[in-house]
């Protein structure tokens, strides 16, 4: 079994799913299998479908007749469920955190703590890497990535530094990338700054925001009546999308009304306030620090 992080907000996410022993559930972010294993504990004749595009996740597969693993991006989960003859499910869980395994394996290129190729592909069969991005994106494209996904204040300076460096040599490794942007990194805040820069690259390489939007848009069709959606996010960009979609059924957050003034929303928030990890969990598992959990149920027609 590969080394993956301890599941974040495990108790709260299982409670949010409100699991029925004979129900059908989907874990769209299998990873190390922690949440999936916990869901299976509550099922008798039920079924669990788990998705992950990372080939390394297959090392954690569960031998159980109630369990089906699909090695694909969760943006396609509705089509794959239909392939298995499933039109509606009782619950969908998404833990959007990057696994410890992906961060801790140097050759995956996710972490600035290691030397290695500037890669960052969650789907290793993809041809597009973070190195391709920093070497080939235009000024406008680079600016968009770091402004939108890194929310950096000195985006212009960062982009100019990358463009200046790549004129003399390609940026292929983590070390070369850090060297290229060294003049942009604030003193004594280097780890926080680099975390934002690497986050921006990772989101763009893996099309994370587009995939999340596509997944969320499918949930009202896939959930059965009183079905539950449970999503754990780790940064403001993801959380804003999830919060807005639950609130309004779209990503702007603007609630639409029908001719009679009734609010048109496919989902309804179960918890009025976002669920946060306890101080005890954060002390045990530092990766839980930025986690936020939102629970929604399908609106009654």
Beta strands in the chain (DSSP E): 24-27, 47-51, 67-70, 89-95, 223-233, 267-269, 292-298
pLDDT at residue number 255: 84
Are 171 and 245 found together in one domain? Answer: no
Based on the domain organization, do 64 and 189 belong to the same domain? Answer: no
CA dihedral 57, 63, 64, 66 (to 10 degrees): 30
Q: Is the pLDDT of residue 235 over 50?
A: yes
pLDDT interval class at 29 (50, 70, 90): very high
Domain finish residue from 205, 238, 259: 205
Most confident of 78-92, 248-262, 273-287: 78-92
Please check whether residues 22 and 158 belong to one and the same domain.
no
Domain boundary residue, one of 147, 182, 205 = 205
In this structure, the answer to whether residues 147 and 221 fall within a common structural domain is no
3-state secondary structure 53-89: CCHHHHHHCCCCCCEEEECCCHHHHHHHHHHCCCCCE
Task: Check whether residue 183 and residue 231 sit in a common domain.
Answer: no
Residue with the two structure tokens 């896939």:
222
> How distant, in Å, are the alpha carbons of 15, 75, 79, 296 from that of 246?
18, 17, 22, 7
| Mean predicted confidence (pLDDT) in 126-135 | 95
Based on the fold, state whether residues 88 and 156 are members of the same structural domain. no
pLDDT of 4 over the 70 cut? no
- Whether 118 is covered by a domain: the verdict is no
**Residue 36 clears pLDDT 60, i.e. is over it:** yes
Q: How much of the chain exceeds pLDDT 90, in percent?
A: 74
Residues 90 and 217 in one domain: yes
Choose among 137, 139, 154, 238: nearest CA to 193.
154
Q: What is the predicted pLDDT for the residue at 3? A: 45
According to DSSP, residue 9 is labeled T
Q: Do 192 and 65 belong together in one domain? A: no
Vertex 75, ends 37 and 253: CA angle to 5°? Answer: 105
User: Which of 153, 170, 205 marks a domain boundary?
Assistant: 205
Q: Are residues 176 and 215 in the same domain?
A: no
In a domain, 249, yes or no: yes
Over residues 151-207, the pLDDT tens digits come to 998 999 999 999 999 999 999 999 999 999 999 999 888 889 998 999 999 999 999
Supply the pLDDT for residue 207.
94
């Amino acid at each position: 079994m590969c080394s993956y992080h301890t599941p974040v907000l495990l108790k709260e996410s299982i409670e949010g799913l409100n699991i029925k022993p004979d129900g059908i559930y989907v874990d769209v972010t299998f990873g190390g299998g922690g949440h999936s294993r916990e869901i299976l504990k509550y099922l008798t004749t039920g079924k669990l479908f788990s998705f992950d595009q990372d080939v390394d996740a297959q090392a954690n597969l569960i031998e159980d007749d109630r369990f089906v693993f699909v090695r694909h991006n969760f943006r396609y989960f509705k089509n794959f469920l239909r392939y298995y003859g499933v039109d509606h499910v009782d619950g969908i869980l998404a833990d959007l955190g990057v696994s410890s395994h992906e961060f801790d394996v140097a050759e995956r290129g996710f972490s600035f703590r290691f030397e290695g190729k500037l890669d960052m592909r969650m789907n290793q069969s993809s041809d597009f890497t973070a190195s391709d991005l920093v070497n080939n994106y235009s000024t406008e494209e680079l600016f968009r990535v770091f402004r939108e996904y890194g929310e950096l204040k000195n985006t212009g300076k960062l982009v100019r530094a990358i463009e200046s460096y790549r004129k003399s040599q390609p940026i292929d490794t983590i070390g070369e990338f850090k060297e290229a942007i060294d003049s942009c990194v604030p003193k004594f805040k280097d780890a926080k700054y680099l975390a934002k820069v690497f986050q921006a690259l990772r989101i763009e390489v893996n099309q994370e925001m587009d995939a999340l939007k596509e997944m969320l848009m499918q949930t009202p069709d896939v959930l059965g009546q009183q079905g539950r959606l449970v999503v754990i996010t780790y940064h403001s960009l993801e959380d804003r999308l999830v919060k807005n979609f639950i609130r309004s059924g779209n990503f702007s957050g603007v609630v639409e009304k029908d001719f009679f003034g009734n609010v048109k929303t496919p989902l309804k928030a179960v918890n009025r306030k976002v669920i946060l990890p306890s101080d005890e969990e954060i002390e045990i598992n530092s990766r839980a620090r930025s986690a936020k959990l939102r629970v929604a149920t399908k609106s009654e027609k």
